[in-house]
Amino acid sequence: MRSWIKAEAGRPGRRPPTSRYRRGMKRVLAGSQAGRVYGQRAQVETTHSMMKRNLGDALRTHRAENRCLEQLWRVITHNVMIW
């Protein structure tokens, strides 16, 4: 599994990350288009928070197909509300 956590999180320093995995994340995300994906995380979390506050945080249906439909309707309703 690939991690999308920026290796620069925390206090900035001059030395490269000491951990093998953090060095790998820095190498993968540095200057690539993949680093841009992480930058939209705050927008996604804000949208999820808005939907949970305005439309509730629990689904009412039990079947998987109906949960997908209910989620779709919540997204459509959210888009209409902010439009």
Please classify residue 29 by burial: count the beta carbons closer than 10 Å to its beta carbon, then call 0-12 exposed, 13-18 middle and 19+ buried.
buried
For the chain, 83 residues long, give each residue's pLDDT as a single digit of tens. Answer: 565 665 555 666 777 778 888 788 777 777 655 556 566 777 888 899 999 999 999 999 999 999 999 999 999 999 999 88
The pTM of the whole model exceeds 0.75 = no
Domain ranges in the chain are 1-39, 47-82
Residues 6+ apart with CB under 8 A from 57: none
Six token digits for residue 19: 């951990």
